[in-house]
Amino acid sequence: MNRLGFMSYIYMGWTVEQMAADARSHGMSLVQLDPKQKLQLMDDQPFSQARAEAVRESFEKQGISIVGLSGYTNLMNPNLQKREDKLVQLEKMIDLCPVYGTRYIATETGSLHPTNAWRDYEGNRTPEAWDELLRIVDRLRSRAVKNDAVLLLEGFALNILATVEQAVSLVEQLGSEGLGIIMDPFNYLTQEDLKQQDAAMTNIFNRIEAYAPIAHAKDTLYSEEGFTTPRVGAGYADWNVYAKLISSRMPEVPLILEHAKPEEVAECLKLVHQAFANAAAEKADEANGR
């Protein structure tokens, strides 16, 4: 089964030692870390090299490797000053990738919605918005290349980067040097896709697996509140399909748990393990001609 890890925000308010101990107890050995998160370790210097070194060493002593950084922000914030401030902050985090011991830093692309980066907005679908996104991503990609790092984009159905077709187009236009995509089908699945998940997820893998060094573990939910991606088991994504695809086509890619609370981690991972067991059993049956 793929190596398992966790998003650091699952353990918000915990120290490195506390989150590492809990993660290890669940069989996880990797973390996608938010450098801005308070860890009771030089928190007054969030973007200093000294803190990055201290955090990395502390995790490594606890048996946890930093697989990537979480630099999530709205790249297309309609407030231009806030946008620039966040881009500069993200560039500082890109510079710290080597110090944290990882090549990867992830962000979503965001939305032009005036108040909510997770809501759709008609301006997101314009050629002008796409061209501006390309300009911003190329700026960040170039910064990543200088640090031997890779900027990983996480698409989302209501953001400017909303489909896997757009993800492929973006990489093809800018090139894959210093640029990749998070394998996260849960963010792309439409309500129609949920009726044909085998075909939908296979298409997602076909499109972006070559560009995806990290995969995420969560779910897909459409409700009265709209489209969300909750923890594993809290939506309608078919994890048997996902486990089969990722175990057979991307077995070396780490799988990072998202959107769970500490007390929900065990149940989420139980569902993940069961899905992988089902995938292995199906593969065995096929090998035996059953």
Q: Average pLDDT in the 194-218 region?
A: 98
Q: Average pLDDT in the 108-127 region?
A: 92
Say how many C-beta atoms besides its own lie within 10 A of residue 61's C-beta: 11
Structural domains of the chain in order of their starting residue, each with its CATH number: 4-287 (3.20.20.150)
| φ and ψ of 100, to 5 deg | -75, -10
**pLDDT confidence bin for 119, thresholds 50/70/90:** confident
**pLDDT confidence bin for 284, thresholds 50/70/90:** confident
Note the pLDDT of residue 261. Answer: 98
Note the pLDDT of residue 15. Answer: 97
Say how many C-beta atoms besides its own lie within 10 A of residue 122's C-beta: 9
Q: Average pLDDT in the 135-140 region?
A: 98
Q: Which of 70, 81, 83, 92 is nearest to 153 (CA)?
A: 70
% of the chain at pLDDT higher than 90: 95
**pLDDT confidence bin for 25, thresholds 50/70/90:** very high
Note the pLDDT of residue 248. Answer: 97
Alpha-carbon distance values, 153 to 14, 19, 109, 160, 248 (Å):
27, 26, 7, 11, 23
Helical residues (DSSP H) of the chain, grouped into ranges: 16-25, 49-61, 80-95, 97-100, 127-146, 164-174, 197-208, 239-249, 265-287
Q: Amino acid identity, residue 86?
A: K
Mean pLDDT of the chain, nearest integer: 96
pLDDT in tens, 144-174: 999 999 999 999 999 999 999 999 999 999 9
In the predicted structure, residue 118 carries a pLDDT above the cut 90? no
Question: pTM for this structure?
Answer: 0.97
Say how many C-beta atoms besides its own lie within 10 A of residue 195's C-beta: 10
Token digits of residue 246: 């990722």
Note the pLDDT of residue 54. Answer: 97
Query: Helix %, strand %, coil % for the chain, to 5?
Result: 50, 15, 40
